[in-house]
Structure 1
């Protein structure tokens, strides 16, 4: 069974003592499991995010935009697999899953352009 963990500071954290089944609502079958987080794992994730925030805050907007653009590229390159996951976890037909992913990509595209919006020039 494929178990989905938590990505914390670039590492996948699995807590196998608390797995939760994820059902495909279209079939009723278990698609995978997700590792439920303990309070310690949540606290670790929060502390890690807080520690990373100053560096992100000080990252120039253009560099942030480049990071978001790379994320957009990854979404597009992995669109088929992402749509399959959306279908398995939400019971959506492929067309609806593709539309949902496309809307997400559009949101990332907006974030990619934020550097221009933050310049304060019009």
Structure 2
């Protein structure tokens, strides 16, 4: 069984509502290594709206703090 890669929304993963997936392949071998959840239009709108609402606080966060957050997420 291959793992399914979910979406990231409001600081947590969620599977999405479309129920559709697409294969993730190893480009060297062509072997399927997983599945990625495909978003519905509603999923995309919810994520976009959430990001737009979070942007003012993110914009006002210092570059040093934003860098720490991105590196921790990575």
The interval holding the TM-score normalised by the smaller chain is 0.7 to 0.9
TM-score (ref. length: structure 2): 0.79
Match of 2:25 in 1: 23
- TM-aligned CA distance change 1:57 to 1:32, over 3 Å: same
Alignment coverage as a number of residue pairs:
72
Unaligned runs of 5+ in 2: none
The answer to whether structure 1 residue 5 and structure 2 residue 6 are counterparts is yes
Instruction: Pick from 32, 39, 42 the counterpart of residue 41 of structure 2.
Output: 39
RMSD: 2.1
Q: Give runs of ≥4 in structure 1 deviating > 2 Å.
A: 60-68
Q: Which has the higher helix share?
A: 1
Q: Secondary structure at the match of 1:22?
A: strand
Q: Which has the higher strand share?
A: 2
